[in-house]
Amino acid sequence: MHAIHRSHYRIRFAEDHADLVRAQELRHVAFIANRPGARPRPDGLDRDAFDDMCRHLLIEDEVSGTLVACFRLLPLHCGEEIGRSYTAQFYDLSALRNYGAPVIEMGRFCTRPGWRDPAILRLAWGAVANVVDEYDAGLLFGCSSFTGASHAAHAAALDLLAARYQAPAHWMPGIKAPRIVSFAERARHHEGDPREAFAALPPLLRSYLGLGGRVSDHAVIDTDLDTLHVFTGLEIDRIPPRRARRLREVLPNTPLSPVLAALTSSG
């Protein structure tokens, strides 16, 4: 993808190691430096072995050049490859191994703390929509994280997920992580205001669910990053037609074939 300019932002894929380091620095600021319970990295970078497997999308302010958001994509040819994903470290994804269509993992999505602009999330989803269409993916998945590993702080939101948004049995992730919060009992006791609970969800997770996404039947406790996260999967054919059309209109007529070639060759 050549750089795309929309709403005073530039959207592009990382081109070199310097771009990757900028993304890792922002991730450290967003995921670690601003979370009291997270463990700071000596080099100030949030990085792992999956970075080299993925393509990294950057959203920059056109005026200052500031990196305001980033995330990474890992395309897989079908469910048989899902064990290669970051998410597979925490969830048993064997139910998805027979998924025949291409799948894409979306991960490490973050925005710069204090940079509040709803256009950023809209642009990110528009870019993802184009890649999903070009790759002909059937499923977009990843981990959606709550800030803070204490499940008590997110009780209302977790109750809502348990009651309304659990994945279908035929691809429900199994338990793999040593520390989890099970939803088995939570769905029976959901009595709060669903609008307030939905508003308490992380913005990315709200977007997933608004498009038809579903979550695992448990949350994973990650004390390293001081987060609580749930597997989130979005079957592309479940997206309401009107929402799908709006996503495609965010970045219309964008040439993505070069991106697709780079994505598929990286797998």
SS3 16: coil
Q: Does an H or E element contain 141, and which?
A: strand 139-147
| Domains, the chain, ordered by start | 4-266 (3.40.630.30)
> Is the pTM for the entire model greater than 0.75?
yes
188 CB-near residues (< 8 Å, 6+ apart)? none
Position with higher pLDDT, 256 vs 243: 243
pLDDT tens-digit readout, 138-167: 999 999 999 999 989 999 999 999 999 999
Residue 240 sits at the vertex; the CA angle it makes with 233 and 69, to the nearest 5 degrees, is 55
Q: How confident is the model at residue 263 (pLDDT cuts 50, 70, 90)?
A: very low
d(CA 167, CA 200): 20
d(CA 168, CA 182): 16
pLDDT tens-digit readout, 159-189: 999 999 999 999 999 999 999 999 987 766 6
d(CA 257, CA 267): 16
pLDDT tens-digit readout, 12-65: 999 999 999 999 999 999 999 978 888 889 999 999 999 999 999 999 999 999
Contact 141, 90 (CB under 8 A): no
